[in-house]
Chains A and B, each alone.
Chain A
Amino acid sequence: MRVMMLNAQDARKLRPSMWAAVILVAGIIAVWLVQLGLNMVLTQDAYHLRELKIERKTLTTEVQIIQEEVDSLASPQNLADAANRLGMVANPDSVLLDIESDRIFGTPEPVSAEDTAVASGNLVANAALGATSEFSAGALYASGFENGVTTSDDSATEVILQQGRIPASPTR
């Protein structure tokens, strides 16, 4: 290495350019700004991701609440109790219609609670039973159904079967 003594004029010529310094500083600031921008975007995405995760958790909880409610309402225990409260009993006298041979099997008989071999109310334990069917006037009103059923008296109309055969449909 060599050290040289210069006069003032030469020394000024060798002084670093101001522009270079400005460009360097500007470059550094630009890089810093880009990094800041990227960080902001990443942070923003992280917040968004967090929000989505919270939303997913909320929805999962909501699905589980609804699923458990459906499970409970659809359980045979609830259905048996609901049917019982509606005054329904199991009728062992089933009637089958054979479409191919146009035949009726079995005799339809009304059944009373005393005749049925099966208990109408539920006898099978279910600790998971939560929501149950409700038939109060308020619940029926809220469901949009009318409380009560309108029936027409068609007892005078007699259906005559030919030896247990299903009457032919007039449409064919």
Chain B
Amino acid sequence: MGNHAAVTRRLSAFLVVLALLVVALGYRLVDFQVVRAEEIQEKSLERRSQTYVLRALRGDIQDANGEILARTVFRYDVNASPKTVGPVYRTVDGVRTEYSVAEIAMDLAPLVGLSVEELLSRLEGDSEYSSLAKRVDAATYDAIKSLGVPWVYFDTLSDRLYPNGAVAGNLIGFVSSDGTPLAGLERQYNTCLAGIDGQETFERSAEGVRIPTSNITTQPTQNGGTLNLTIDSNLQFFAQQVLADTVSELNAEWASAIVVEVETGKILAAAEAPSVDPNDAGASEAENRGSKILQFAFEPGSIMKAISTSMVLDTGTATMYDTVSAPDHLYLDYGEYIKDSFGHDEFNLSLAGVLRYSSNTGIYQFGVQIDKETRYNYLQRFGFGSTSSLNFEGESSGILRPVEDWTYSDNYTHLFGQGIAVTSLQMAYAYQAIANGGVRLDPVMVESCTSPEGELIYVPEQGATRVLSEESADTNLLLMEKVVEFGGVGKTAAVDGYRVAGKTGTAEIREGEGYGDNYAISFYGVAPVDDPQFVVGVTIYKPEGVTNSAKATPPFKAIMSQALKHYRVPPSTTTSPDYIPSNRDGEPGA
């Protein structure tokens, strides 16, 4: 009995202890599984999971025909781990062969652009990192990878490739090596082009091995959109070729050419030489990395006269039949004088005659009849003195002083393009207004931004400004046609089969207080006159030994001919009216 009681006591004690243990474990179980379950799970996941960024790809830039001007590609940094460098074993047809480090280096050296000696020196030591090459292309990466060297590893980077090089490089701009947009449309439209990086997490086992199917995308990647330009890369390349040739021939500082579609206001080409190749922006001088067409203002000279004649017509100050007596120089009230670019007897010039002979004294006499406030308003409506709706970074507004600040000389020099500074863009769109029945359209260089799925994200709004009456604009175009029909230099701008209107310009460049020996020569024109399609404006800055605009017409003619041919524009079926007075006697004809 005594034994039985002892067994019962021990058993009871054991059961009590067991019960206490069960209660304690139960409490912990409830605490872990219910009370602190969420917190523990979070901590556990935090330890197991690893988060990494999924880089969004920057969008493409395309020309008007969908040709890629900028795309994102992958580049690879090639690294080695010297600590693990050793012979490589390859099995070919069942035969295992050993390749020494020196043999591997012979194959690897040309691929990473190093000499064998240099490569071997980088493979020495016991570090885990040695850089062998930076940003190699996919073909090189593939070739290195196929060597099957276990101690060579890669870092993948995204990079920007501009397949057409410097074609439209001044407009497109470029990005830094870390992908930061630095200039041009790349920078201006970064919101469209840059995507949104994503995030993904995965879980690791206690040994650090990635657990399959544990990937969770916490933030989906959104790749960048496509920027669609109005630029036609074929025409742009052609224009850049012409300008590069011209700059080389004339030893000029630079040259620019802009092609505008009259009816839509789209910029089809905005070419410059020298230009910048965005693939290697550092190779260009800093001043050539931007867009002079948009950012550089210059005194335009006589190309402004076509604007002045349009004001004369539109205000009713004179008709195309009215004439003035124009000497080769003319003394003004306060002792100064203005003169024409060549000596001549007194001409009897109509408005067309003024343009044909590019007479400063003639345009002065027509122009000063319009009060300066009215002229100032016209100049503003033509777009001078303000930046355009393009909002291109660093775009120049030119210089058009407020009318109340006009000096005595501003009052008349503006008529022939002095005392006022304009950009090539502004001048091209002033001509576009004349060619477009008096309505100046806002310039368009970006057609749209589309998402990777093809949805429209952004389409620029285009404004229009009525500058002249349709009749004045059309008449002015006919007057400008006489420059190409009869003008000494203007004739060289003629394009066979097409009626062309335009104006020459040989602007002296200000140096210090006065004007030096350098010129900005230009030709801005429109074709075909009977159905205006394109405005082409060419400016050549500081050509050596050139004192007139005769060297500006060949590039104009080449680019205008190419535009007409490229867009299959039918030749003119009419001829210039023979009743418009334009000769030195104020009569029609030669």
Cβ of A107: which chain B residues have Cβ within 8 Å of it?
496
Stretch at the interface among B136-144, B316-324, B328-336: B136-144
Cβ of B244: which chain A residues have Cβ within 8 Å of it?
119, 123-124
Stretch at the interface among B107-115, B120-128, B564-572: B564-572
Whether B245 pairs with A123 at a CB distance below 8 angstroms is yes
Given contacts A93-B496, A106-B497, contact A77 B165 (CB under 8 A): yes
Whether A42 pairs with B15 at a CB distance below 8 angstroms is no
Cβ of A60: which chain B residues have Cβ within 8 Å of it?
74
Cβ of B8: which chain A residues have Cβ within 8 Å of it?
3
- Whole-angstrom distance from the CB of A42 to the nearest CB of chain B? 6
A105–B569 alpha-carbon span in the complex (Å): 11
A37 at the interface (CB under 8 A from B): no
- Whole-angstrom distance from the CB of A65 to the nearest CB of chain B? 5
A45–B212 alpha-carbon span in the complex (Å): 9
Given contacts A46-B212, A75-B164, A106-B571, contact A117 B275 (CB under 8 A): no
Cβ of A77: which chain B residues have Cβ within 8 Å of it?
164-165, 237
Q: How large is the interface on B (under 10, 10 to 19, 20 to 34, 35 or more residues)?
A: 35 or more
B98 at the interface (CB under 8 A from A): no
B277 at the interface (CB under 8 A from A): yes
- Whole-angstrom distance from the CB of B468 to the nearest CB of chain A? 31
Identify which of A3, A62, A96, A128 contacts B279 (C-beta below 8 A): A128
- Whole-angstrom distance from the CB of B555 to the nearest CB of chain A? 8
* Docked complex: B274-316 residues within 8 A CB-CB of A: 275, 277, 279-280, 283
- Whole-angstrom distance from the CB of A23 to the nearest CB of chain B? 27
Identify which of B15, B233, B557 contacts A1 (C-beta below 8 A): B15
Whether B73 pairs with A64 at a CB distance below 8 angstroms is yes
Given contacts A96-B571, A98-B570, A105-B570, contact A74 B558 (CB under 8 A): no
Whether A68 pairs with B73 at a CB distance below 8 angstroms is yes
A35 at the interface (CB under 8 A from B): no
Identify which of A1, A64, A127 contacts B165 (C-beta below 8 A): A127
* Docked complex: B2-54 residues within 8 A CB-CB of A: 4, 7-8, 11-12, 15
B161 at the interface (CB under 8 A from A): yes
A106–B555 alpha-carbon span in the complex (Å): 20
Identify which of B142, B165, B245 contacts A128 (C-beta below 8 A): B165
* Docked complex: B524-572 residues within 8 A CB-CB of A: 554-555, 557-558, 561-562, 565, 568, 570-571
Whether B245 pairs with A119 at a CB distance below 8 angstroms is yes
Cβ of A1: which chain B residues have Cβ within 8 Å of it?
11-12, 15
Cβ of B557: which chain A residues have Cβ within 8 Å of it?
117
Identify which of B4, B165, B275, B283 contacts A75 (C-beta below 8 A): B165
The interface on chain A, measured as residues whose beta carbon lies within 8 A of the other chain's beta carbons, has a size of 41
Cβ of B71: which chain A residues have Cβ within 8 Å of it?
71
A88 at the interface (CB under 8 A from B): no
Q: Mark A70-81, 1 if CB is under 8 A from B, else 0.
A: 011011110010
Smallest Cβ-Cβ distance to B165: which chain A residue:
A126
* Docked complex: A48-89 residues within 8 A CB-CB of B: 49, 60-62, 64-65, 67-68, 71-72, 74-77, 80
Whether B164 pairs with A118 at a CB distance below 8 angstroms is no
A125–B273 alpha-carbon span in the complex (Å): 11
B425 at the interface (CB under 8 A from A): no
* Docked complex: A31-47 residues within 8 A CB-CB of B: 42-43, 45-46
Smallest Cβ-Cβ distance to A106: which chain B residue:
B497
User: Apart from A65-B138, A68-B137, what are 16 other A-B pairs with CB-CB below 8 Å?
Assistant: A3-B4, A3-B11, A46-B212, A64-B73, A64-B138, A68-B161, A74-B163, A93-B496, A96-B570, A96-B571, A98-B570, A117-B557, A123-B245, A124-B165, A126-B164, A127-B283
Q: List 15 A-B contacts (CB under 8 A).
A: A68-B138, A71-B71, A74-B163, A75-B165, A76-B233, A77-B237, A92-B558, A105-B571, A118-B238, A123-B240, A123-B245, A124-B167, A124-B275, A125-B277, A125-B283
Chain A residues in the interface with B (C-beta under 8 A): 1, 3, 42-43, 45-46, 49, 60-62, 64-65, 67-68, 71-72, 74-77, 80, 92-94, 96, 98, 105-107, 117-119, 122-130
